[in-house]
Amino acid sequence: MDAMEGLRDAIQNRTATVAIIGQGYVGLPLSMHYALAGFHVIGLEVDAEKVGLLNNGRSHIPDIPDTMLNEARAKGYEATSDGGRLGEADAILITVPTPYTKTKQPDMTYVEQAARAVAGKLRKGQLIVLESTTYPGTTQDLLLPVLEATGLKSGVDFEVAYSPERIEPGNQKFGLHNTPKVVGGMTPRATELAAALYGAIVERVVVVSSTAAAEMTKLLENTYRHVNIALANEMALLCHTMGINVWEVIGAASSKPFGFSAFWPGPGVGGHCIPIDPYYLVWKAQEHEMVARLVELSGQINDHMPEWVVERVADLLNDRGRSLRGSRIMLIGVSYKKDIPDMRESPALKVLEKLHQKGAHLSYHDPYVPSLPWHYGALQSTPLSVATLAETDCVILLTDHSNLDRDLLCRHAPMVLDTRNALKEHASPTVIPL
């Protein structure tokens, strides 16, 4: 029997071994779903501390409860730092980070490392799928040559596909199982095998014609959000100048049942996708002697928002006869999104940095982030109380966690800049909207 035919049967019978490189926000949910679906799963993770936690039944990802992890372990899931285990796998999914450099160019270091690890144990009959968000052409031009340097041939000895991750941390409505999975293979058989593999754990698989089309799909999704958030942020700046409440305007526009989707302003954009992915598109466009003008401009607008928040605080303090330098500022919520501890690309870090540079005395409160690593020294989350609020000159609400005591904040903070419109139901002269 052809080796790839054997893989097809193993996927169908759920006897295939699936190795997933990276056990973070993307890789761990994948591991759990495959294990619970009956596959033997090897979770490869370079962080030995995380491996120890996982093998002791303790999840480091909020969306994966310990109960799910232990159920998966009972069905055969195991975490390891041993890259040699990749040789045991019938299918290998790569879910490593794809950050950008200081000059906002793609950093493929982790993908390249993963590719070399896979190549070191590549054998006939394996399916390799890249999930990391990246620019069109990565699978074909970066991953494939490393694998074929072993002497094995794609489409003959093994198959390669791309399927972009669509995980949104903290989303209680849409998770891995009910979010459609886009799949594009280097060959029709690669597409078929990858679709079958994902079809075992998700409700719907969307097939596209190539790996490049699948790669571009993810960039379009996140660039769409990036551009529309930038529009909302620019509207916030314009409305402030004109003395108009931008939240009221967007809310009213949302009443139109067609032709409008609401996006909201804020202190900037954060997370593992939206602040980064559009710049992959900008970089790729330059390679083709094109300029993604709208995408670049949107990045400039969104990147400016933390600075504008600081400018607003300085103006508000000035109106009360105080200088920003020496003022006591408390940040409320420092993770990039409500109700999660994820700090990746959080705009709160940029606000914190700019306030420090201007001489403010800083503290923060965030029940999801008890300690905040910072190159000026770690900060500890300050309890929110009448006493701690009384010691501040201004509070900046950056992330509106659901468990925030809004009444306490509105009653006892001397001044609150609300960048999320989270206190709209609390009429108070001390609350100032963004």
Return the pLDDT at 1. Answer: 54
Interatomic CA distance for residues 393 and 322, integer angstroms:
9
Q: Looking at the domain assignment, is residue 250 inside a domain?
A: no
Helix ranges, 275-391 (H): 277-287, 293-319, 347-357, 386-390
Q: Do 272 and 347 have their domain in common? A: yes
Q: Do 195 and 266 have their domain in common? A: no
Q: Find the CATH number of the domain harbouring 27.
A: 3.40.50.720
Interatomic CA distance for residues 388 and 33, integer angstroms:
44
Residue 286 has phi, psi (to 5 degrees) of -65, -35
Q: Do 166 and 271 have their domain in common? A: no
Strands of the sheet with 17-21, listed across from one edge: 78-80, 40-44, 17-21, 91-94, 127-130, 159-162, 181-185, 205-207
Give residue for tokens 């991750």: 165
Other CB atoms within 10 Å distance of the CB of residue 304: 16
Cα–Cα distances (Å) from 130 to 37, 162, 163, 181, 253, in that order, read 21, 5, 6, 13, 40
Query: Chain-centre distance of CA 407, in angstroms?
Result: 31
Range of the domain at 280: 257-433
H or E, element range at 416: strand 416-418
Return the pLDDT at 247. Answer: 96
For the chain, how many structural domains are there in total?
Answer: 2
Q: How does strand 159-162 pair with strand 416-418?
A: unpaired
Catalytic residues, by residue number, are 273
In this structure, which amino acid lies at residue 327?
S
Q: Which residues lie below 8 Å from residue 252, measured CB to CB, with a gap of 6+?
A: none
pLDDT per residue, tens digit, the chain (434 aa), is 577 888 999 999 999 999 999 999 999 999 999 999 999 999 999 999 999 999 999 999 988 999 999 999 999 899 999 999 999 999 999 999 998 888 888 999 999 999 999 999 999 999 999 999 999 999 999 999 999 999 999 999 999 999 999 988 888 899 999 999 999 999 999 999 999 999 999 999 999 999 999 999 999 999 999 999 999 999 999 999 999 999 999 999 999 999 999 999 999 998 877 888 888 888 999 989 899 999 999 999 999 999 999 999 999 999 999 999 999 999 999 999 999 998 988 999 999 999 999 999 999 999 999 998 776 677 899 999 999 999 999 999 999 999 999 999 999 999 999 999 999 887 788 999 98
Q: Do 283 and 421 have their domain in common? A: yes
Q: Looking at the domain assignment, is residue 252 inside a domain?
A: no
Q: Looking at the domain assignment, is residue 103 inside a domain?
A: yes
Domain end (from 143, 175, 209): 209
Q: Looking at the domain assignment, is residue 393 inside a domain?
A: yes
Q: How does strand 78-80 pair with strand 91-94?
A: unpaired
Return the pLDDT at 273. Answer: 79
Return the pLDDT at 137. Answer: 96
Cα–Cα distances (Å) from 338 to 120, 132, 171, 349, 398, in that order, read 41, 24, 10, 15, 9
Q: Looking at the domain assignment, is residue 191 inside a domain?
A: yes
35 with 76: CB under 8 angstroms? yes
Q: Do 301 and 381 have their domain in common? A: yes
Reading the block at residue 363, the tokens are 């503290």
Q: Do 276 and 130 have their domain in common? A: no
Q: Which residues lie below 8 Å from residue 421, measured CB to CB, with a gap of 6+?
A: 247, 264, 433, 434
Cα–Cα distances (Å) from 132 to 165, 173, 326, 397, in that order, read 7, 23, 44, 32
Q: Do 261 and 205 have their domain in common? A: no
Return the pLDDT at 378. Answer: 77
Q: What b/e readout covers 323-352, taking b as 16+ CB neighbours within 10 angstroms? A: ebeebebbbbbbbbbbbbbbbbbbbbbbbb
